[in-house]
Amino acid sequence: MRIERLIMQSSSPNAKYRIMADINMIPLIDVALVLLIIFMIMTPFLIRSQINLRLPTSRAVDPKVSRDKAVTVQVARDGALYADGQSVDSNSVERVLRNLLRDPQTTPLLVEADKDASFQYVVVVLDAAKRIGAAKLGVCVRKESKGGRR
């Protein structure tokens, strides 16, 4: 008897507690926006990790430059250039570096070149850096292991 009364109460239009037939979209939109923000933040890191470089080795490695504040230009084996993870055409390197290096006198520029890349592409990057007045240039290398070269 009591169950029948509850069913009748919930089905009546004036009931205090009605069955909710609508889908609340606010939590769904919140989750979608949070996922969008996460993907927007993670995309630059994922792009940088996709660029596969085998850096040359050296015995004298000087890790003084903070990579957080430096602009990094990567030269891939096939000659593809990447400035801070974004693909750059060799003809527009100077323009891109001018935009990335707000203060060329104080902002360091690091060149990461694959050990099998043609030196011509490294010269293109260094030439563009010199033309815009970059004062702090560096070439990234991997520290040579104690057992010799890898």
pTM of the complete model: 0.57
Give percent above pLDDT 70 in the chain: 68
**Whether residues 31 and 73 fall in one domain:** no
Structural tokens at position 49: 């990790």
Mean pLDDT of the 51-63 span: 62
Report if residue 148 sits inside a domain. no
**Whether residues 67 and 97 fall in one domain:** yes
The range of the structural domain enclosing residue 120 comes to 57-143
- Taking alpha carbons only, the member of 73, 84, 75 closest to residue 48 is 84
Q: How far apart are CA 148 and CA 150, in angstroms?
A: 7
pLDDT at 64 over 80: no
Which residues does 106 contact at the CB level (< 8 Å), separation at least 6? 135, 136
Report if residue 118 sits inside a domain. yes
User: Confidence class of residue 150 from pLDDT cuts 50, 70 and 90?
Assistant: very low
User: Confidence class of residue 58 from pLDDT cuts 50, 70 and 90?
Assistant: low
Report if residue 89 sits inside a domain. yes
Alpha carbon 106 to its chain's center: 23
End residue of a domain, out of 50, 68, 83: 50
- Taking alpha carbons only, the member of 14, 128, 134 closest to residue 70 is 134
pLDDT tens readout for residues 78-128: 888 998 888 888 889 999 999 888 888 888 888 888 888 888 888 899 899
pLDDT at 35 over 90: yes
pLDDT of residue 95: 92
pLDDT at 45 over 60: yes
**Whether residues 62 and 32 fall in one domain:** no
**Whether residues 106 and 71 fall in one domain:** yes
**Whether residues 22 and 46 fall in one domain:** yes
Domain count for the chain, please give it. Answer: 2
